[in-house]
Amino acid sequence: MRFYTNQHRYYCGVDLHARSMYVCVLGRNGEPVVHRKLECDPDAFLRLIKPFRKDVVVAVECLFCWYWVADLCADQGIPFVLGHALYMKAIHGGKTKNDKIDSYKIAFLLRGGNLPQAYVYPRDMRATRDLLRRRLFFVRKRGELLAHIQNTNTQYHLDPFEKRIDQARNRDGLLEHFEDEDVQMSMAANMALIDSYDETIAELELFLEQRVKVHDAATFYLLRSIPGIGKILSLTIIYEIHEISRFPSVGQFLSYGRLVAGSRESDGKRKGSGGRKMGNAHLKWAFSEAAALYLRGNPLGQKYFTRLEKKHGKGKALSLLAIKLGRAVYFMLCRHVPFDPKRFVRT
């Protein structure tokens, strides 16, 4: 957890919504000099904080609509802090909660150096990252449609499909597999949507591959030197990390990727672990997939995994493999060196 500790003359806390914002500006003595509600208008916001522009910092809680405030502050040369929503318990845990109180608490935490920071993703790659996440959303919807076809086949106790229906060439004659006309109509609707998703996903992947060559082609090809990490996983790792230098240690990187759990201790007694859902879910997915794909057609990796499996069991062995892949990626990006298969499996 990182806190913003720089000192300023004025501290501006913003409780931001889609159409409105509540702004609180505190002086060094902690007394509000401005506390009012505004429409989400850049010009109105700049007019409000104009008397304090010489030395003011702006803080906003990490919600879906923070992009425009961060970009506005960057253009105007105003320091901007993005508050980490999961760590801001002082806001969410109060007995009374409203926009006016929340904006004051954000400004007060900022003034006291107690505002937990989230990463302000830069605008030049932000839209590409969001597009990559959108592609994953479409892939999952496509998977739901394929699962519905399989479940319907099981529901009517029909023979299993001879080939994988996720491939378009294997879906010819699929409707004739079902006898009921209503079921055929349902399957036809599924197949029409799947065909549309296939076309859209292919276009997105081609576009994303072109974009990453503009943003960071060297890292894209460096990551693909790891067995099992292909085009999509490389894209995910690049755009979810952005810059590996923002993680001072490999432990912080693994924690951000949800690859390790936190610990809870008090008075020397361990009280379990927590925070498993704190971090980046997309990196967790990428390294979990990479761990499974790493073993395909990789005798050296399979031999190493067998040793892990005998000691820890299959489930934990896959988790340990994902963690080790995360460590490998961290040091590869820090040192700009390709993957070394023999060094990776060395005990």
CB neighbourhood size of 243 (10 A): 11
Place of tokens 């699962």: 147
pLDDT above 90 (res 241): yes
pLDDT above 90 (res 96): no
Distance CA 210, CA 309 (A): 39
pLDDT band at 90 (very low <50, low <70, confident <90, very high): low
127-172, pLDDT tens digit by residue? 999 999 999 999 999 999 999 999 999 999 999 998 999 999 999 8
Picking from 80-84, 92-96, 208-212, which range would have the lowest pLDDT averaged per residue?
92-96
pLDDT value for 193:
97
pLDDT value for 100:
93
Structure tokens at 38: 């505004």
pLDDT band at 124 (very low <50, low <70, confident <90, very high): very high
DSSP 246: G
* Dmax (CA) of the chain: 77
Strands 10-16 and 56-61: parallel
3-17, pLDDT tens digit by residue? 999 999 999 999 999
Burial of 156 per CB tally in 10 Å (0-12, 13-18, 19+): exposed
pLDDT value for 332:
96
Distance CA 183, CA 51 (A): 68
Average model confidence (pLDDT) for the chain? 93
Structure tokens at 198: 């296939």
pLDDT above 80 (res 49): yes
pLDDT above 90 (res 263): no
| Mean pLDDT of all residues in 30-46 | 95
Distance CA 222, CA 235 (A): 11
- In single-letter form, the type of residue at position 2 comes to R
Structure tokens at 322: 């994902």
187-218, pLDDT tens digit by residue? 999 999 999 999 999 999 999 999 999 999 99
Is residue 75 a contact partner of residue 42, using CB atoms and an 8 Å limit? no
CB neighbourhood size of 88 (10 A): 20
pLDDT band at 67 (very low <50, low <70, confident <90, very high): very high
**If you count them, how many residues does the chain have?**
347
Is residue 115 a contact partner of residue 3, using CB atoms and an 8 Å limit? yes
Distance CA 57, CA 78 (A): 6
| Mean pLDDT of all residues in 267-289 | 84
pLDDT value for 347:
64
User: Which contiguous run of DSSP H or E holds residue 301?
Assistant: helix 299-312
- In single-letter form, the type of residue at position 109 comes to L
pLDDT value for 337:
95
| Mean pLDDT of all residues in 24-43 | 95
Q: Which residues contact 345 (CB under 8 A, 6 or more apart)?
A: 300, 301, 303, 304
What percent of the chain has a predicted confidence (pLDDT) above 70? 97
Structure tokens at 248: 């001072």
